[in-house]
Each structure stands twice: as structure tokens, then as C-alpha cells.
Amino acid sequence: MVQLSDGVAWPRAVARGAAVGALLALSAVDLLIAGDVGYPLWRPAVVLAIGLTAVLWPAARRPARLTPQLRSAVPALVSLLYTAASFLRHRDAPFGPGEVAVLLCLLFVAVRHCPPRRAVACAALDAGALLLTPLRYFRTLWSVDEAQGYVLVGLVLIGLVGGLAAYLRALDYRRTVAVADTRREERLAIAADLHDFVAHHVTGILVQTQMARMMADTQPRELDPVLAGIERAATETLASMRRTVGVLRDGGEEADRRPVGDLAGIAELTAGFPSPGQKVTLHRDPAASDDLPHEVQAAAFRVVQEALTNVRRHAADATEVTVVLEHDGSGLSVTVSDDGRGGTQLPAAAHGGGFGLVGLRERVTALGGELRTGPRAGAGHGWEVRARFPC
């Protein structure tokens, strides 16, 4: 059904209706020509009916077995048989613009939609059927001026239609490659997101598990908050993995399910981070609003997430962590600092291979930003991660 409010569907429907009307009108001309010369109408009618069916059958209702190669080859073969029968019987048979138009449409279908190995053969059948139609009447292609003119015009039309179809096929291929590249990049980004979420939560689980083991003997009554934190982190990890697997299974088309964060999510991230003996403070500039570009907010979330993960990995002795979000009108600055001295009891395998900051730097620089990491300025200990995004 065509919706008048659709700015694209309505013009397309009008154009398709005009094309269908033109094909039917030209086919009617073929039948009129056959009737004027006293030729049986059923023969050209059969050729036209088969060709029009192949061209005009709606794609939504077209059976799967009616492939492009079948649609383009069968009508061409019927046209060739009609020509051969007229030529061998030495009986003049008329031809007209309707059959020519149908064969050109089928040539377009062959070049644009047939599989590469079949496209050339199907296109050759359609082009040959079109160029050989003068044999029905002139018995030759070159000794009669009218036949020569027809063949030359046919060659020009075949070149134009075939060239247009090949150009559109090339555009389709380039679009398919671009879509595939975009999906691959999106899946890689989703995999990076999953790594960040899992690394963050699993590191927290590991730290709190170690604390629980130490408290089991000395402070057994205070274990419940630690165990609750482990449960929460494990639940969030499973939820992140479930969302990510769902996105990958659906082909990456449900972007709203992608586990990315924003500035509002930073508050939840910092609230759920502290272990016993740690304090995380978030200072958010009112100018750093939720109206900032989504990609900037997601990158800022990643900066905070990776910095907090590294605090757990490399500075588990930190007692205070400060997260600052500032917006000065030209860009967003994200700073995460801690007062740790580098003391940690995590196993060496849990420290990571240093790829978190490498990926983080790629995210920041891809948005035209800067990332700096190093000892906290003005203090004898501690670490600071600072990123700035233009926006």
C-alpha cells in the first residue's frame, strides 16, 4: 500500500506505475501491428505474456524458484524460438516496440541481479534475442537498410541499458561492502565494550573476594556487604554479556542494546565502585550536561571505567579516588585521580597486559581528544588519568 505521507514511496509508486503503463501500451502496439498484417495474434501474445510476467511480477509475491536468471533467460529463449520458427518457415512475422522494451528490461535484470557466473550468459541471451528479431521479417540483418538501422539502434540501446545496470550493480556491491565493513567495525567495538565491562566487574569481584577471605576469620559479621558487592558485580557482568551476545546474534542492528555508558552512568559506576576503606567522590560540573554528543559521553564513561579498573589492579591500597567532570564551553575534561601507593595483592595474571590504556587512547584520539596518564601532580604518591574531548 502506498502512503501519501511518505516522501519516497509515493514518487516511486508513480514511476513504477508509469513504467508498467508504458510497457503495456507498447505491447498493445505489437498486437496492433500483428493484427494489421493479418498475423495470428496468439504467437506474439504468448511471447509478450511470458516476458511481461517475468518483468512485472511483484517482488513481494514472487516465488523463490523464479530466480533472476530464470526470469531473464526463459522469455529470451521463447523470443529466439519464435524468431527461428518464423525464419525457418519463411513466413514473415511482425515485431514491435513492446517486445524490444521487455527484452531490454530483462537485460537490465540479468546484468544487475543475476549471479556473476550467470549474468553474462543471461545478458547475451536477451541481447541476442533483441538483435535477431529482424530475421522474422527481413530474413537478413545487413542487406536491408531498415534491418541495419534496427540492429544499430538495438546495439546502442543494449549498451545504454547494460551500462546503467552494470553501474547500479557496482553501486550495490560497494554498498554491500560498506555495510559489511560497518558491521565488522561495530562488532569489534562491541567486543571492546564487553572486554571493558567484564574486566571492570571481574576485577572488582576478585578484590572483594580477597577481602572476604581475609575477613572470614577476623570480621565474619561484616562479610554481608562484601558478598553483596560480589553478587552485584557478577550480576552486572552477566547482564552485560547477555546484552552483547544478543546484539551480535541480531547482526548488530539493535544499537540501543549496545552496552555503552554516558555521563549519567558515571554516577552509578562510581557509586558501585568503593571497597571497604575506599571513598570515591564525583564532582560533576553543571555545564557537563546530558546534551553532549553521545560518542563523547560514551568515551568519557570508558575513561572513568578503565581508570577505576586500574585503581583496583594497581593501587588497591588507595583510600580516596576523585572523579571530576568539567565543561568549559569548548570541551569536556575528565579526570580520575587516586592516592594509592601502588600496593596491591592481586595475582600478576590479573594486572592486565597494558592494552586497556592503549585502547582507551585510541577511543579518545579518534574523537580528536587528548589522554594523559601519570603521577598525580603536587603529591608524592597517587596516579592521575586525564582526558579532554572537544565538543
Please say if the pLDDT value at position 302 is more than 90: no
| CA atoms of 55 and 51, how far apart (whole Å) | 6
Closest CA to 208 of 257, 147, 278: 278
What CATH code is carried by the domain that includes residue 369? 3.30.565.10
Phi–psi pair at 11, nearest 5 degrees: -60, -35
Domain count, the chain: 2
Q: Where is pLDDT greater, at 134 or 241? A: 134
The verdict on residue 175 lying in a domain is no
Q: Where is pLDDT greater, at 355 or 58? A: 58
Closest CA to 321 of 378, 226, 385: 385
Segment 203-217 mean pLDDT: 68
The verdict on residue 294 lying in a domain is yes
Domain that holds residue 56: 11-139
Please say if the pLDDT value at position 253 is more than 60: no
The verdict on residue 99 lying in a domain is yes
Q: What is the pLDDT of residue 13?
A: 76
Domain boundary among 119, 139, 159: 139
Per-residue pLDDT band for 171 (boundaries 50, 70, 90) equals very high
Q: What is the pLDDT of residue 197?
A: 65
Which residue has 531473464 as its cell numbers? 72
Query: Which of the given ranges, 193-207, 228-242, 277-291, has the highest pLDDT on average?
Result: 277-291
Please say if the pLDDT value at position 48 is more than 90: yes
Closest CA to 296 of 387, 358, 372: 387
Per-residue pLDDT band for 156 (boundaries 50, 70, 90) equals very high
Q: What is the pLDDT of residue 345?
A: 52
Per-residue pLDDT band for 257 (boundaries 50, 70, 90) equals very low
- Which residues, in sequence order, are CB contacts of 112 under 8 Å at separation 6+? 165, 166, 168, 169, 172
The verdict on residue 206 lying in a domain is no
- Which residues, in sequence order, are CB contacts of 215 under 8 Å at separation 6+? 222, 223, 226
Domain boundary among 106, 139, 172: 139
The verdict on residue 171 lying in a domain is no
216, three cell numbers: 572470614
Please say if the pLDDT value at position 259 is more than 50: no
- Return mean pLDDT, the chain: 80
Domain boundary among 117, 139, 161: 139
Q: Which of helix, strand or coil describes residue 238?
A: helix
Angle between helices 97-113 and 68-88 (to 10 degrees): 140
Please say if the pLDDT value at position 1 is more than 60: no
201, three cell numbers: 566487574
Q: What is the pLDDT of residue 288?
A: 87
The verdict on residue 338 lying in a domain is yes
The verdict on residue 49 lying in a domain is yes
| CA atoms of 127 and 367, how far apart (whole Å) | 52
Q: Where is pLDDT greater, at 345 or 327? A: 327
The reported pTM is 0.55
Q: What is the pLDDT of residue 276?
A: 66
The verdict on residue 189 lying in a domain is no
pLDDT in tens, 95-139: 889 999 999 999 999 999 999 889 999 999 999 999 999 888 887
Lowest mean pLDDT of 184-198, 308-322, 346-360, name the range: 346-360
If one counts every other C-beta atom within 10 angstroms of the C-beta of residue 210, the result is: 16
Q: What is the pLDDT of residue 187?
A: 66
